[in-house]
Structure 1
């Protein structure tokens, strides 16, 4: 294993911005006095060791906005954490057993934490439960159980929560129904404690799976204030690599009109596996190739890169000594 550098979370900036996006791996260390992670820098193609006391002492979840949500199991202290700078943003103390959530619970922010309207939202993917709060230690977490069929008897809101994302400060999820999409908007009333409201808009455009493909996996990505879906097509359900990938834009101003993107231009998209979120980067600004989909697979250490222009896939091995069936977390630059 090629180790480029080591560092501690107790001195100086944790990470160099030029090394982000990063893949975060667990690391079994004989001396567990400090918590160790392996970080693979996608731009640099290098693996490094970092010691994170914060991650050893807290339950944590990653977000598409780069911040991590940390919950202390004993003190119930809860905060947003920037892994690049170690900056913390206090959240109300946890009172509803957030630490019992599964690691794949969906956590998103409506705005940057310093924004006065920022909402931190957590969706339990196993129960019809939402938690939300505003940054600051003086408020409180609000827990809501919602009607899974609030928008239609035929639509399961909880099923679409795995694609919960933020666009323009608002929350959206997307469901795939009979070759069309249903965009579900989630809004919170300014009245403290009021239940969230769901509204839905169905697209009129059909989504066509290419001939010869049996399975399609969708991931939602926010980019430049717009909502995109990455459609990953598989010839067989158990194939490890998508044979074709397309990017669809859902125009929220035109009743979620679907537009197939011919190119992402200067952008590339990243897709996480465990948390299933997507993120957009200005590729050249971070030293990566433009117009590509970088994606991770469950129980697979590899980083897959699909070139939208050429229609080809390249797989990168982040470390020969890493177990093949580990699933890394994805870290992107915080807002």
Structure 2
């Protein structure tokens, strides 16, 4: 067994096909920006009445998708799918879009395979080589991360295929950068269908990367105590990828609840782990959380009582992110719950939990945070 393999971890690989990404919401955002009379052109035509981050929610209606964009402070819809017009935001029309924690989205044309990074806030576009990935993998919850800001020559774009042992990576520096597909082996684990009968036996399969975050130029994944996976890219593009692990003990585990979801979040150069907790009696709602920061000198997680005045935003499927609080509450974690049309706000300082109803939002199983660039 590889030292990276989580001990006693039981997971179930999801095979459901998720809805298409955030194209409609981003297009609607640009339409509202252009129609606003109070436009700051230096800030890429973002309307003064709408501040980022904001939340986009989608609903599947067979062959079409209904998308709404919500302002979280006002708890109201500010743009709908009916506002989508390819002429307003041609760069993202008919593209598959994956968000990143740095405010850029990875956009790909399913027909031509043309691929680029795009900032909804600044409208900056960075062309990338064509990405020849299976389109279904992008719909099924692929993760996209940036090791640095795209303007940094050291920036690596990483794409993690869902429920497989493959990653795609691209270093932006160089005369002719190309996407590379890499198969990794980080050990095996037990998968269980949660059915206690002979028809659904547990099985052993390859461990896949699930939770992942970028921090200090490296990628950290699968924070199963007492280990934390590390993926490092060599200084020279021709060098091999370096998969490894570091000890990552985590005391103060005294929550008597089910850990429903774990996020790794980079915030101001520090790596945080957020555990969202559930009650076994109600697995449809988070009942609490615990937040830890990685002490790299002692290689252990340390529980924290604040977020340094910043705000964390999270949604199912994708990576969590940190941003300036702005009009949101500082030292709070915002968790989108699209199925119940709710937003849960966890105050890390005082431990309080507020559930905000999003009555104008559609019934949805997918939500994205639209983030400011460089957050």
Shared fold per TM-score greater than 0.5: yes
CA distance in 1 between counterparts of 2:345 and 2:131 reads 38
**Counterpart residue number, 1:324:** 363
Aligned partner of residue 122 in structure 2, secondary structure: coil
Q: What is the TM-score with the length of structure 2 in the denominator?
A: 0.74
Which residue is equivalent to 2:152?
A: 115
Residues 76 and 94, structure 1, Cα contact 8 Å, conserved in 2: yes
Instruction: Please give the residue correspondences for 1:157-176 in structure 2 after superposition, counting only pairs within 5 Å.
Output: 158-159=207-208, 161-176=209-224
Counterpart residue number, 1:199: 244
Partner of 1:258: 301
Q: Matched residues in 1 for 2:135 and 2:55: separation?
A: 24
The match for 1:210 is 255
What's the offset of the Cα at 1:166? 1.0
Map of 2:185 onto structure 1: 147
Structure 1 117/191 Cα, relative in aligned 2: closer, same or farther at 3 Å? closer
Shift of 1:6: 7.4
CA distance in structure 2 between the partners assigned to 1:131 and 1:202 by the alignment? 26
What per-residue deviation string (whole Å, max 9, x for no partner) do you get for residues 280-299 of structure 1? 1232xx11212211112363
Alignment of 1:13-32 (within 5 A): 13=44, 15-16=46-47, 19-26=51-58
2:111 is aligned with 1:79: no
Aligned equivalent of 1:95, options 132, 139, 157:
132
Deviation at 1:219, TM superposition (A): 1.3
Counterpart secondary structure, 2:366: coil
Which of 305, 314, 322 is matched with 1:280 structurally?
322
Quote the Cα distance in structure 2 between the aligned partners of 1:205 and 1:9: 46
Please give the TM-score of this superposition, normalised by the length of structure 1: 0.82
The answer on whether the counterparts of 1:24 and 1:39 sit within 8 Å (CA) in structure 2 is yes
Q: Given the alignment, which residue of 42, 48, 71 partners 1:41?
A: 71
- Cα deviation per residue 1:154-191 (whole Å; 9 max; x = unaligned)? x98854x3321111121111332xxx242111012344
Say whether residues 1:242 and 2:286 are aligned partners.
yes
Query: Partners of 2:321 and 2:72 in 1: how far apart?
Result: 14
1:37 shift after superposition: 4.2
Task: Give the Å deviation of 1:246.
Answer: 1.4
* RMSD of aligned alpha carbons: 3.1
Identify the structure with bigger relative contact order (alpha carbons < 8 Å, sequence gap 6+).
2
Q: Output the CA distance in 1 between the equivalents of 2:66 and 2:340.
A: 20
Q: Counterpart of 2:9?
A: none
CA distance in 2 between counterparts of 1:173 and 1:6 reads 32
Q: What stretches of structure 1 move > 4 A for 4+ residues in a row? A: 9-12, 155-158
Q: Which runs of 5+ in 2 are unaligned?
A: 1-27, 35-40, 189-203
1:333 partnered with 2:356:
no
